[in-house]
Amino acid sequence: MSKALPLNYTPSISEWPIWKKLGALTGILALAGIYAPIFWLMVMSVSGEPLSGIPGDFTGQWYNALATNTNWLWPLWLSVLLGIAVALTSMVCATLVGRAIPRIRHGKSAILAVTLLPLMIPGVVVGTALFLYLRVLLGLKMGMWSLFAGHLVWSFPFALLAVLVVALRFDTRLLESGADLGANAWQRFRDIEFPLLKDGIISGGLFAFLLSFNEIARSIYLRGRIETLPIYLWQQASTKTSNVPLIYSLNVIILIVSTVIVGIAFWLLFGRRDK
């Protein structure tokens, strides 16, 4: 007769079945593939010879060089402005659509599927299609406005998902109660609905900003002569100029800021759910 195990018994790794060990190994390899290049980038950003690929002679010279080489400032400024415009527009559109979808009785799934379809279409396909439609068919000149259109198509579905996370938990009976008390549509939105949806709206705006700020697949086709920061970094890396070492330090700074923004977005969406 086998010995009974205590209720709180946790098997050791050596006792795991083979399929569980294989799953754990696959997960570790996947995480290593994601984080190892990022960690290597951070280490090389403080190495004396980053192009050699070998860490050593640790120094902060490349961070100091960013202050003297200001060629990246204008692309950064354009990316920030474009990201803010896309974020604000995505927040407004996601709020209008996100608060309407839960109220739809018929065809809700179809409308949601069509709205989120751009997430499934490769960026090069969307960029090429927009370029051919706007430039070739309509004869319009590419520039900031075409970049805005391409980034909005990419960012809006993510902002909508963030709004839906909170909108689908919203009890519409609160609005009915407000109407019974004499509140008009604007008062009900301002005093009841918006306070409950604002975390999803802000999170959607943060995600939209990051997606726009880091976008390159669509930007290559729609930029005209505009040079955003991702395109600038891509050009610097591909031409192997003397500015390449600065890419390491600049990308680390972007990584840190992006991580903070994503952390805030997830905290707004999930961290305060029980409050």
Q: At what angle do helices 244-266 and 229-239 cross, to 10 degrees?
A: 150
Going from N- to C-terminal start, the domains of the chain cover 16-63, 71-242
pLDDT at 2: 52
Give the pLDDT means over successive 10-residue stretches in the chain (275 positions): 57 71 84 85 82 76 79 88 94 89 76 81 87 86 90 92 84 76 80 83 89 90 88 77 72 84 77 55
pLDDT of residue 182: 77
| Token duo for residue 13 | 């790794």
Q: Specify the residue for token string 């709180």.
A: 8
Question: pLDDT at position 88, please?
Answer: 94
pLDDT of residue 10: 65
What local confidence, expressed as pLDDT, does residue 189 receive? 81
CB 167 within 8 A of CB 197: yes
112, two tokens: 């949601």
CATH of domain 71-242: 1.10.3720.10
CA distances from 111 to 13, 16, 94, 102, 164 (A): 46, 45, 13, 11, 13
